[in-house]
Amino acid sequence: MRVMHAKVAQVVDLTPALRRIVFGGPNLVGYPTSGVGDEYVRVLFPLPGEDRPPLPEVAGDDLDYSTVVGDRMRTYTIRDVDAERGLVTVDFVVHDGGLAASWARDAAIGDVVGINTPKPLYDPPEGLQWQVLAADNAGLPAAFRILELTPEHVRTRLVLEVAEESHKLDVPAHPLVETTWVIGGNGHGPSCLDEAVRGLPRPEGTGYVWVAGETKTLRGARKHLRRELGLPASAYKALGYWTADAERWRERYAALDEAVRDELAAMWDSERDPEEIADEYEDRLDSLGL
């Protein structure tokens, strides 16, 4: 694990809701991409009055989060890497409010952020024959990159939810892709992504379902895949990329009794199956209205 400064080299508006920012600089030459479509990084943003963020220390294979100065770090997937030229591309959802969205909306060539080396999550089983990639606007860049890296023989069902027709993008070419666009969600109304995943047929053969989007919506999708369909953990990945009304959610979480917060944190301090822990954790959040 390494963490380094990177400069904005290019800014491109892809849609009214998605801005592409290409980072460059000598620190990114030879950038160690995993080559997996949804690899993610921590991006550290400068706070008002800073021209660049201070970099945290590294602890083994991760950042030492106790050395991150202030609330300046957010998680993003990488859209593209050109290690030879030292370029790393990240697509940002732009919206009102939020540290990262505000920074991305005003980003200019030469601006500096911190970025670490990436980790992947997409992990399909051997002998993959088909996959479902379902995402809202926040997960769309990773879904597209996964599709670009998918072998030609793998049938792919792409389900993408965007707030408006103008937020659609051209889908990367693949000989066996079927795309469904859903209009809604994304903080502008109720999401239909959970319902869309529930309504998809399951083909025969070895498959994998990858879903990324708003956290609470993804809880429902994960419950469907794990509990109703009974899929093993190796057959799906459900990833919460953002939380609707996050500030209010954090306030409600912070207002919980200290014993309850300790109980929730202690769930993860275990050697049990992570999926079993996630079941228990999500059920407890639901019971608390979170």
Looking at domain 3-116, its CATH architecture is: Beta Barrel (2.40)
Domain range annotation of the chain: 3-116, 130-244
Task: Share the mean pLDDT of the chain.
Answer: 94
Percent of the chain predicted with pLDDT > 70: 100
Q: What are the tens digits of pLDDT across the range 227-281?
A: 999 999 999 999 999 998 888 898 999 999 999 999 999 999 888 899 999 999 9
Question: pLDDT of 151-185, one tens digit each?
Answer: 999 999 999 999 999 999 999 999 999 999 999 99
The percent of residues in the chain predicted with pLDDT above 90, rounded, is 86
- The DSSP-derived string for the chain is --EEEEEEEEEEEEETTEEEEEEESGGGTT------TT-EEEEE-PPTT-SSPPPPPEETTEE-GGG--SS-EEEEE-SEEETTTTEEEEEEE--SS-HHHHHHHH--TT-EEEEE--B----PPTT--EEEEEE-TTTHHHHHHHHHTS-TTSEEEEEEEESSGGG--PPPP-TTEEEEEEE--TTSS---HHHHHHT----SSSEEEEEEEEHHHHHHHHHIIIIIS---GGGEEEEEEE-TTHHHHHHHHHTS-HHHHHHHHHHTSS-S-HHHHHHHHHHHHHHTT-
Of 20-24, 137-141, 191-195, the one with minimum mean pLDDT is 191-195
Please give the pLDDT value at position 247.
83
Say yes or no to pLDDT of 74 above 90. yes
Q: What is the pLDDT of residue 188?
A: 85
pLDDT for 166: 97
* Top CATH class, 130-244: alpha beta
